[in-house]
A and B are shown apart, each in its own frame.
Chain A
């Protein structure tokens, strides 16, 4: 039997291939998104920590430390804020450059701003020579280099996590329970209603195409909604009148960017925990609206406390939380609550459009 293909279970094979394909096109190096609140706060915190450190090194006594800190902070904050504002403005442009070019641009901005705001310092300090300018520029360059290195490492640390998250997502997103029940429902149609069976298999194919697509790039909400509608058609096939769905979609929300497969696992959860355990018909409510610079997604389903032992809920939620964090850092929020006889999920993410 030597030379035949290994007879591993098909699931195992699939996940192995997937890991490889992820490794092959790993995320390219890039500067962080300077419009992200998490990135901005990390820069501010790092800058100020650096000021404290330098003040500590330069002073012998506590009273001197406070004086030094104020002095250094005075020198640091104006250029830091200007740099942050500039980076915020040019962030989309930086994202289009190669990593090397964007690094060069970053250093140019930092050093340029530091040099340009240097005369401000001479207004307050009497003993400023040109040697001080070079020292300041050196600090700025060193600080920027350390920060760039930090973001580089952070991205390195997170991109396998992104791949890993995607892998996990793949396993958790479509429950085998759904797949086999749907296949069974489609089989039941083939003899009696071949036309409907055809549509159902088409829906199933498209659903799986999306699941297997690259999930690292954002997609528009309208696409995610149409995916959910396909999924719901399949569920309707087997659950019939027991499943009722109510959509409420703000037209302004439809072009907003969301992580792919954000809604579908939640809708699947809603059916698994909210509709299937119920003897009577149950309602799943899904809404999306623009709320200023945020996109708000809400989803609710009947709550069956006696069915909480049905596993899988936390997996899907943890999975989505992690993906939201990878995409939006601290700017995304996911809350769940039990309100009377309904289970509610509330998601807020930044409202963004395709550039």
Chain B
């Protein structure tokens, strides 16, 4: 077996050096190489793209992007690294890990415990989306797209609307559009406070709705469409969603 390539993602520098030391203590039993360190999830995704590691040791509490969200973005990759979560104290996450049988480490980490987790992770499966969602049900801050073997992020706050097309969902920002693999109903559930459904195949950013207009004055049959800030396109509202949207416009 080739030595495992490992990355460390933790926002605290002393915690990263401690992890390096404990990893070094395991080197005799399990040969490995530390491919790099990152101080937050976004840097972590870049590091993963640059180094293609086998395994990531990830702190749960990090500014900007939690370790759980980081792990969810990794899943868009074809060959994501295995993830071992590390936390100092998080009763809720620890309970969820226990339920889902996801391996995790508690800080301060002991060499023997780390070694066991490393061995298991080399052989083991990756935690699936449903499990990670259950561990941290709060909405993500980014959508993720796999582009040439690396994860690209689209900030949820930048999204104008999302449209379901055949197999994929198109995410539109002011600048460009992306294809993501999440389903529209999953997104609606996760980001209910941010997006509202106007059609079976379309969610729009609540904060960007500027009004509605009739498709055509003369045509009584023509439906309404939504006017969004920063978007020239008029998006049709389905009859089913019209009542709910009208309520929203009134408020």
Stretch at the interface among B10-18, B48-56, B171-179, B211-219: B10-18
A188 touches B89 (CB 8 A): no
B63 touches A188 (CB 8 A): no
* Shortest CB distance B70–A (Å): 14
Interface size on A, residues (CB 8 A): 24
Q: Could you say which residues of chain A place their CB within 8 Å of the CB of B18?
A: 184-185, 187-188
A309 within 8 A of B: yes
Instruction: Report the separation of the CA atoms of residues A276 and B64 in the bound assembly, to the nearest whole angstrom.
Output: 10
Decide yes or no: A176 and B89 within 8 Å by CB, A181-B107, A188-B21 being known contacts.
yes
A239 touches B89 (CB 8 A): no
Instruction: Report the separation of the CA atoms of residues A240 and B10 in the bound assembly, to the nearest whole angstrom.
Output: 13
Q: Which B residue sits closest to A241, measured CB to CB?
A: B13
Decide yes or no: A188 and B15 within 8 Å by CB, A175-B89, A279-B63 being known contacts.
yes
A279 touches B40 (CB 8 A): yes
Decide yes or no: A189 and B14 within 8 Å by CB, A177-B88, A184-B107 being known contacts.
yes
Q: Could you say which residues of chain B place their CB within 8 Å of the CB of A279?
A: 40, 63-64
B108 touches A184 (CB 8 A): yes
* Shortest CB distance A198–B (Å): 15
Decide yes or no: A188 and B17 within 8 Å by CB, A238-B12, A276-B61, A278-B63 being known contacts.
yes
Give the residues from 63 to 80 in chain B that come closer than 8 angstroms, CB to CB, to chain A: 63-64
Decide yes or no: A238 and B106 within 8 Å by CB, A175-B89, A309-B138 being known contacts.
no
Q: Could you say which residues of chain B place their CB within 8 Å of the CB of A176?
A: 88-89
Instruction: Report the separation of the CA atoms of residues A183 and B12 in the bound assembly, to the nearest whole angstrom.
Output: 13
Instruction: Report the separation of the CA atoms of residues A237 and B13 in the bound assembly, to the nearest whole angstrom.
Output: 9
A184 touches B15 (CB 8 A): yes
Instruction: Report the separation of the CA atoms of residues A238 and B40 in the bound assembly, to the nearest whole angstrom.
Output: 15
A276 touches B63 (CB 8 A): yes
Instruction: Report the separation of the CA atoms of residues A177 and B107 in the bound assembly, to the nearest whole angstrom.
Output: 10
Q: Could you say which residues of chain A place their CB within 8 Å of the CB of B107?
A: 180-181, 183-184
Q: Could you say which residues of chain B place their CB within 8 Å of the CB of A187?
A: 18, 108
Give the residues from 227 to 281 in chain A that come closer than 8 angstroms, CB to CB, to chain B: 237-240, 276-279
A185 touches B15 (CB 8 A): yes
Q: Could you say which residues of chain A place their CB within 8 Å of the CB of B141?
A: 306
Q: Could you say which residues of chain A place their CB within 8 Å of the CB of B63?
A: 276-279
Give the residues from 176 to 198 in chain B that come closer than 8 angstroms, CB to CB, to chain A: none
Contact with B along A165-185 (1 / 0, CB 8 A): 000000000011101110111
B14 touches A188 (CB 8 A): yes
A238 touches B89 (CB 8 A): no
Q: Could you say which residues of chain B place their CB within 8 Å of the CB of A237?
A: 14
Instruction: Report the separation of the CA atoms of residues A278 and B40 in the bound assembly, to the nearest whole angstrom.
Output: 11
A195 within 8 A of B: no
Decide yes or no: A184 and B13 within 8 Å by CB, A276-B63, A277-B63, A279-B64 being known contacts.
no
Give the residues from 281 to 320 in chain A that come closer than 8 angstroms, CB to CB, to chain B: 306, 309
Contact with A along B105-139 (1 / 0, CB 8 A): 01111000000000000000000000000000010
Give the residues from 1 to 24 in chain B that come closer than 8 angstroms, CB to CB, to chain A: 11-15, 17-18, 21
| CB<8 Å pairs between A and B, sample of 20 | A175-B89, A177-B88, A177-B89, A179-B89, A180-B89, A181-B15, A181-B88, A181-B89, A184-B18, A185-B18, A188-B15, A192-B17, A238-B13, A238-B14, A238-B15, A239-B12, A240-B13, A279-B40, A279-B64, A309-B138
Known: A191-B21, A279-B40. 17 other contacts (CB 8 A): A177-B61, A177-B89, A179-B89, A181-B89, A181-B107, A184-B14, A184-B108, A185-B15, A188-B18, A188-B21, A192-B17, A238-B15, A239-B12, A276-B11, A276-B63, A279-B63, A306-B141
3 nearest interchain CB pairs? A188-B18, A180-B88, A188-B14
